[in-house]
């Protein structure tokens, strides 16, 4: 039973590593960069990429900062 559980865990980790590898390669980075990312970085960058992609697809662009009020100059 213990050996079967160990084999199942090994198989699960292998599939997980494959999925994370594919996800890293799908990100818009050079392959050299993508190959050295850890799982947390892959997830963080993927989420950020999807957020930006969603904003751009909606035509909103990045959120704009409020500019400080300008003083009227009467000279």
Number of domains in the chain: 1
Kindly give the confidence (pLDDT) of every residue in the chain, 75 residues in length, as a single tens digit, with 9 standing for 90 and above. Answer: 899 999 999 999 999 999 999 999 999 999 899 889 999 999 999 999 999 999 999 886 666 666 666 666 665
In a domain, 73, yes or no: no
What distance in Å separates the CA atoms of residue 26 and residue 4, rounded to the nearest whole number?
Answer: 33
Give the alpha-carbon dihedral of 47, 33, 35, 52, to 10 degrees.
20
Please, where are the H alpha helices in 1-75? 2-26, 31-34, 39-57
pTM above 0.85, yes or no: no
Domain with 6, as residue range(s), is 2-57
In a domain, 67, yes or no: no
Closest CA to 52 of 31, 25, 28: 28
In a domain, 49, yes or no: yes
What distance in Å separates the CA atoms of residue 18 and residue 13, rounded to the nearest whole number?
Answer: 9
């Amino acid at each position: 039973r213990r050996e079967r559980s160990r084999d199942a865990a090994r198989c699960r980790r292998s599939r997980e590593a494959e999925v994370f590898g594919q996800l890293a390669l799908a990100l818009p980075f050079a392959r050299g960069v993508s190959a050295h990312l850890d799982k947390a970085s892959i997830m963080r960058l993927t989420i950020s990429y999807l957020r930006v992609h969603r904003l751009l697809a909606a035509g909103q662009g990045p959120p704009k900062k409020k500019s400080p009020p300008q003083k009227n100059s009467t000279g």
